[in-house]
């Protein structure tokens, strides 16, 4: 039986606008959320097909960021064999396995920061906030997958800690259009994040 509680469509409450933005490189961190084999490779157990489209925009943004010495942070889902999260999603991204590694196209460099996390939020139970504070970061560019899960939780956590949140809309992906657009709505409305594209970001 189809529920009558929900409409057959959901109207986007307002036009989503992307804006150009200039950021001081020394005060900015580019955070790449969970671009790992588990989610981005076709053989990953939780493969997000749309994530493949974000690889090139993220790569281009990453190259520009590195050329300006922007702090680059990767988060990695990093689970133990008995992780209770597997009751929700099934086993994935087990610590030390191929699935847990960042995809080859976006491999971290030695100078990049790697944050291994147990839960959706890149700040929860990790030293990410400490790293950003030590580097005097004010702006966080959030990219990666999955938009309405780890990307949204990390963006929200950044915002409530006082960081300005910037999301290039061509650098995040989700399992459905609803999940994708609801994420943009939450970030722009609830966290006052700035929506842009990778090409509209300039590092000063």
Distance CA 136, CA 33 (A): 20
- In this prediction, residue 1 carries a pLDDT of 45
Q: What is the CATH number of the domain that holds 128?
A: 3.40.50.850
100: in domain:
no
190: in domain:
yes
92: in domain:
no
Distance CA 25, CA 70 (A): 5
Splitting the chain (204 residues) into consecutive groups of 10 residues, what average pLDDT does each group show? 60 76 97 96 94 97 97 92 84 88 96 95 97 98 97 97 97 94 93 96 97
Distance CA 71, CA 29 (A): 5
108: in domain:
no
Distance CA 54, CA 51 (A): 5
141: in domain:
yes
Q: How much is the pTM?
A: 0.93
3: in domain:
no
Number of structural domains found in the chain: 1
**Domain containing residue 136:** 21-36+48-75+120-203
Structure tokens at 183: 């994420």
Q: Where are the alpha helices (DSSP H) in 34-173?
A: 37-40, 55-67, 86-89, 128-134, 152-160
Q: Among all chains, which residue has been given the structure tokens 């950003």?
A: 132
- In this prediction, residue 39 carries a pLDDT of 94
- In this prediction, residue 163 carries a pLDDT of 98
Structure tokens at 107: 């491999």
181: in domain:
yes
150: in domain:
yes
């Amino acid at each position: 039986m189809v529920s009558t509680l929900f409409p057959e469509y959901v109207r986007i409450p307002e036009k989503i606008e992307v804006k150009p933005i200039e950021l001081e490189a020394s005060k900015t961190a580019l955070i790449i959320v969970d671009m790992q084999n588990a989610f981005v490779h076709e053989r990953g157990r939780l493969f997000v097909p749309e994530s493949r489209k974000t690889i090139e925009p993220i790569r281009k943004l990453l190259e520009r960021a590195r050329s300006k010495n922007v702090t680059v942070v990767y988060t990695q889902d990093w689970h133990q064999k008995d992780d209770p999260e597997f009751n929700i999603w099934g086993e994935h991204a087990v610590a030390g396995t191929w699935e847990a590694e960042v995809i080859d196209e976006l491999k971290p460099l030695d100078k990049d920061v790697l944050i291994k996390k147990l839960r959706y939020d890149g700040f929860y139970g990790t030293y990410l906030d400490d790293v950003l504070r030590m580097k005097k970061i004010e702006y966080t560019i959030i990219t990666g997958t999955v938009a309405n899960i780890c990307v949204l939780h990390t963006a929200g956590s950044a915002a409530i800690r006082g960081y300005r949140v910037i999301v290039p809309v061509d650098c995040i992906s989700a399992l459905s259009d609803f999940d994708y657009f609801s994420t943009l709505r939450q970030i722009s409305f609830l966290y006052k994040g700035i929506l842009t594209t990778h090409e509209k970001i300039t590092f000063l």
